[in-house]
């Protein structure tokens, strides 16, 4: 019987597979071998798409007559820096004594692509038994399960097709649009900035859309005009306690739908607010309506990569690519499950054995008391019946959760890695706790012909909030000690901002109030406010906006069609953002993680806006991503996708060629420069 070859994406992962196999391996050059198995590795990508000059040397120069460039057959080549490892892997894959190949690259589209390129370039015969290992963590049990249940590689052919298409799409759009826009507008950009050389204009399917999101947000902020408004607040007194109520011009009010109002709770002019006060002074106040209820706030869904990146940006002020790097390290140390996931729920299979994950956390001091409590009360047993378990919401991988293993590795981690790990643990354990319960009381007070409104709440039962350590400490920066605590209002994501948080004593007094009760008016006041401009993106909120691109689309049918498909993927979004910063199209403030466009970024935005405007739109970008999903699911053929892609690239490239007066863009450049 021949040998089995295991090929991983990187050396560290290969080492974990070798450990799990528990065989006596001998170290070779670029691989390890036992009597029955060989374990080898890639070093990320070993093969890449060839540059245009590999097709024709004339393509090395950027010229109009060579565009659009759409090859009938795409060429690939070994990356020079890793050519030695490729040669080793190629020889192993084709060794006569190797009859079974286990593909152990990362379980996702990109990992599939990495191996398929190697397989293709190495010309591995199909007579070999090729199997795909698909795992959610690198624990020994999961690795062995993945090997045991490995399916024929052919079952992942549709995923492979989508991976190839994604690369071709980025390649064709990047080369054709970057070249044609540089040829057409590069001199205009160079002259405007005073550079000696023509500026190479870099555009892409995803990165240009993200640039557009940031530039549009910045321009919305610039053009925003603050609108002042004036709210009338009444103080109502009962049993020595003063309650604040806000005037609203509801139906029945003389100010209802009155042009003097800015929305229903604010006057456009202070004089009108003061006029209302004069009308109401001395009038009695009676409770017109009172509502008392308990409201439950359930634990948040588990982390996917985008949500984790957003939280880490807010709490620790680290960028999305830093969060991914940290979480990847935690994954490789067997501490957490696969990080590049879009799912925020668990699978039913994992839910059945989830107690093993929880048991392991008894050894992690910051959350050990909660793990003990969950286990002793056995609250994990019914988790499969909750919203936190849903197989239909999982494509490749379930949410990011702690494995409960690898705790010995924590001592060697940087403080930020421990913080991220604790954050994941707390979110995970919180789903086994009951809802937080708030007591809420809402009052409507009639004063003359007008009504005032007040809402109050108090936390009665902590529930899951105690696991999140909410409100006990202020968050600390990532370099210091402490856990991932945050303010209660942010943690629970309470959207009901009108409710005043009160003490238990005050609640007891409010509970006694009834409809028709009289209240004393202690006085009126005018509170000035003003409308706020949109917030700038920070690195985390931009990642979330990329994930939820469908929300940016006005067309309801298209928004529904691409629901669940965003801009980029969980594996690529952080790198896209990093590239935009690296090429100086965007600025990232490392302390605040706030993102703003650079002048160069705004100039590129203008160039694309007058030439290939659809590249700036989330509709197009998300639709392409949705198409790739259809291919991966087997609902759209590779050929059908390529026909649409070829036509789009050709049409847009030829359209740019027809643009005549490029100097007209100078006025747009001048407008942008005013803000720099």
Q: Which of 172-176, 576-580, 660-664 has the lowest mean pLDDT?
A: 660-664
Query: How large is the average pLDDT for residues 375-390?
Result: 96
Mean pLDDT computed over 206-211: 95
| pLDDT tier for residue 472 given thresholds of 50, 70 and 90 | very low
CA separation, residue 279 to residues 193, 254, 276, 283, 450 (Å):
61, 11, 5, 9, 10
CA dist 639 and 242 (Å) reads 71
Same domain, 89 and 199: no
Residue 485 confidence (pLDDT): 32
Last residue of a domain, one of 530, 563, 579: 530
Q: In this predicted structure, what is the pLDDT of residue 477? A: 35
Residue 524 has pLDDT above 50, yes or no: yes
324: left (phi over 0), alpha (psi -120 to 50) or beta: alpha
Residue 488 and residue 584 in one domain: no
How confident is the model over 135-145, as pLDDT tens digits? 999 999 999 99
- Report d(CA 62, CA 181) in Å as an integer: 11
Position 88 scores a pLDDT of 98
Same domain, 357 and 419: yes
* Cβ atoms 388, 345 nearer than 8 A: yes
pLDDT at 475: 40
* pLDDT given for residue 476 in this prediction: 39
Neighbours of 17 (CB within 10 A): 26
Q: Does residue 74 register a pLDDT over 90?
A: yes
Indicate whether 66 pLDDT > 70.
yes
First to last CA, the chain: 70
pLDDT at 53: 96
Q: Tell me what the mean pLDDT of segment 382-400 comes to.
A: 93
Cis, peptide link before residue 74, omega less than 30° from 0: no
Q: What is the pLDDT of residue 496?
A: 54
Other Cβ atoms less than 10 A from the Cβ of 447: the count is: 22
Report if residue 155 sits inside a domain.
no
Range of the domain at 75: 3-149
pLDDT score of 165:
97
Query: Do 283 and 319 reside in the same domain of the chain?
Result: no
- pTM for the model: 0.88
Residue that terminates a domain, selected from 123, 149, 175: 149
Residues 11 and 141 in one domain: yes
Number of domains in the chain: 4
State the angle between helix axes of 539-547 and 207-223 in degrees (0 to 180), rounded to the nearest 10. Answer: 120
Same domain, 195 and 291: no
Mark whether 599 and 548 lie in a shared domain.
Answer: yes
Q: Which residues contact 392 (CB under 8 A, 6 or more apart)?
A: none
Based on the fold, state whether residues 260 and 323 are members of the same structural domain: no
Q: What is the pLDDT, as a whole number, of residue 548?
A: 84
The pLDDT of residue 560 is 59
Is 316 within a domain? yes
- Per the rule left: phi > 0, alpha: psi between -120 and 50, beta: everything else, 542 is alpha
pLDDT mean over 59-65: 94
User: For residues 315 and 300, what is the distance between their CA atoms, to the nearest angstrom?
Assistant: 16
- Same domain flag for 246 and 192: no
**Is 28 a domain residue?**
yes
The reported pLDDT for the residue numbered 563 is 64
Give residue 239's pLDDT: 84
Is residue 407 domain-resident? yes
Residue 481: pLDDT above 50? no
Question: In this structure, what CATH number is given to the domain that contains residue 425?
Answer: 1.10.290.10
pLDDT at residue 427 greater than cutoff 90: yes
Residue 186 lies in a domain: yes
115-169 pLDDT tens trace? 999 999 999 999 999 999 999 999 999 999 999 999 999 999 999 999 999 999 9
Sign of CA dihedral 247, 250, 254, 258: positive
Do 13 and 145 fall within a single domain? yes
Q: CA–CA separation, 41 vs 26, rounded Å?
A: 15
For position 501, which CATH number holds?
2.70.20.10
- Of 656, 658, 673, whose CA–CA distance to 201 is shortest? 656
Q: Looking at residues 97-122, what average pLDDT do you find?
A: 96
Arithmetic mean of pLDDT over the chain: 92
Residue 154 within any structural domain of the chain: no
State whether 646 and 560 are in the same domain. Answer: yes
Q: For residue 663, what pLDDT is reported? A: 86
Q: What percent of the chain has pLDDT over 90?
A: 84
CATH label of the domain that carries residue 577: 1.10.460.10
Which pLDDT score, from 0 to 100, does residue 196 have? 80
**What is the rounded average pLDDT of the residues 622-635?**
90
What per-residue confidence (pLDDT) applies to 566?
78
Residue 96, domain member (yes or no): yes
Residues 51-85: b if buried by 16+ CB within 10 A, e if exposed: ebeebeeebeebeeebbbbbbeeeeeebeeebeeb
Write the pLDDT tens digit of every residue in 589-606: 999 999 999 999 999 999
Asked whether the predicted pLDDT for residue 573 surpasses 50, the reply is yes
Candidates 134, 129, 132, 144; CA nearest to 98 is: 129
- Cα–Cα distances in angstroms (integers) from residue 632 to residues 571, 625, 636, 640, in the given order: 16, 11, 8, 13
pLDDT tens column, 326-352: 999 999 999 999 999 999 999 999 999
Residue 282 lies in a domain: yes
- pLDDT at 382 (0 to 100): 93
Radius of gyration of the chain measured on its C-alpha atoms? 30
Q: Which of 495, 530, 565 is the last residue of a domain?
A: 530
293 and 440 inside one domain: yes
pLDDT of 76-93, one tens digit each? 999 999 999 999 999 999
Query: Domain with 63 in it: what CATH number?
Result: 3.40.50.140
Euclidean distance between CA atoms 640 and 634, whole angstroms: 12
């Amino acid at each position: 019987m021949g040998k089995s070859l295991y090929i991983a994406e990187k050396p560290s992962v290969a080492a974990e597979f070798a450990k799990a196999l528990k065989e006596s391996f001998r170290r070779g050059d670029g691989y390890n071998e036992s009597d029955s198995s060989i374990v080898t590795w890639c070093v990320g990508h070993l093969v890449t798409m060839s540059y245009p000059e590999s097709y024709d040397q004339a393509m090395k120069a950027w010229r109009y007559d060579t565009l659009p460039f759409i090859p009938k057959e795409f060429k690939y080549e070994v990356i020079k820096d890793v050519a030695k490892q490729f040669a080793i892997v190629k020889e192993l894959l084709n060794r006569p004594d190797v009859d079974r190949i286990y593909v152990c690259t990362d379980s996702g589209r990109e990992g599939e692509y990495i191996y398929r390129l190697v397989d293709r370039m190495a010309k591995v015969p199909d007579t070999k038994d090729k199997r795909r290992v698909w795992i959610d963590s690198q624990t020994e049990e999961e690795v062995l399960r993945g090997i045991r249940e490995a399916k024929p590689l052919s079952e992942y052919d549709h995923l492979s097709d989508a991976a190839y298409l994604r690369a071709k799409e980025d390649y064709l759009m990047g080369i054709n649009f970057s070249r044609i826009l540089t040829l057409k507008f590069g001199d205009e950009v160079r002259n405007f900035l005073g550079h000696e050389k023509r500026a190479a204009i870099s555009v892409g399917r995803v990165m240009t859309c993200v640039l557009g999101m940031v530039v549009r947000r910045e321009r919305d902020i610039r053009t925003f005009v603050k609108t002042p408004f004036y709210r009338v607040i009444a103080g109502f007194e009962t049993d020595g306690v003063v309650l604040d109520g806000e005037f609203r011009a509801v139906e029945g009010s003389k100010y209802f739908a009155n042009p003097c109002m800015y929305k229903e709770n604010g006057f456009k002019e202070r004089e009108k607010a003061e006029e209302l006060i004069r009308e109401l002074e001395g009038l009695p106040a009676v409770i017109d309506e009172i509502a008392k209820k308990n409201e439950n706030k359930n634990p948040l869904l588990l982390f996917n990569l985008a949500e984790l990146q957003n939280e880490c940006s807010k709490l620790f002020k680290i960028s999305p690519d830093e969060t991914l790097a940290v979480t990847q390290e935690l994954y490789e140390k067997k501490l957490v499950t696969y990080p590049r996931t879009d799912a925020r729920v668990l699978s039913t299979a994992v839910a059945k054995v989830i107690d093993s994950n929880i048991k392991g956390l008894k050894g992690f001091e910051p959350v050990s008391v909660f793990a003990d409590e969950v286990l002793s009360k056995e609250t994990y047993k019914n988790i499969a019946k909750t919203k936190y378990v849903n197989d239909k919401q999982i494509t490749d991988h379930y949410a990011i959760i702690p494995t409960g293993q690898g705790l010995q590795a924590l001592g060697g981690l940087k403080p930020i890695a421990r913080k991220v790990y604790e954050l994941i643990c707390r979110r995970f354990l919180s789903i086994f706790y009951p809802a937080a319960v708030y007591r809420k009381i809402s009052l409507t007070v009639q004063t003359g012909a007008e009504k005032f409104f007040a809402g109050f709440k108090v936390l009665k039962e902590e529930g899951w909030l105690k696991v999140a350590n909410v409100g006990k400490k202020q968050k600390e920066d990532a370099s210091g000690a402490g856990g991932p605590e945050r303010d209660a209002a942010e943690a629970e994501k309470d959207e009901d901002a009108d409710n005043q948080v009160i003490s238990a004593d005050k609640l007891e007094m409010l509970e006694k109030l009834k409809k028709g009760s009289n209240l004393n008016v202690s006085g009126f006041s005018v509170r000035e406010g003003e409308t706020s401009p949109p917030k700038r993106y920070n690195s985390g909120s931009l990642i979330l906006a990329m994930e939820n691109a469908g929300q940016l689309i006005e067309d309801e049918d298209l928004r529904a069609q691409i629901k669940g498909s965003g801009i980029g993927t969980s594996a690529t979004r952080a790198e896209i953002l990093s590239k935009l910063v690296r090429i100086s199209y965007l600025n990232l403030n490392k302390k605040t993680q706030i993102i703003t466009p650079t002048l160069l970024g705004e100039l590129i935005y203008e160039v694309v806006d007058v030439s290939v405007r659809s590249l700036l739109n989330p509709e197009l970008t998300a639709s392409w991503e949705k198409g790739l999903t259809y291919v991966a699911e087997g609902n759209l053929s590779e050929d059908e996708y390529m026909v649409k892609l070829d036509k789009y690239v050709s049409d847009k490239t030829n359209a740019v060629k027809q643009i005549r007066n490029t100097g007209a863009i100078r006025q747009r450049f001048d407008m942008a420069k005013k803000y720099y």
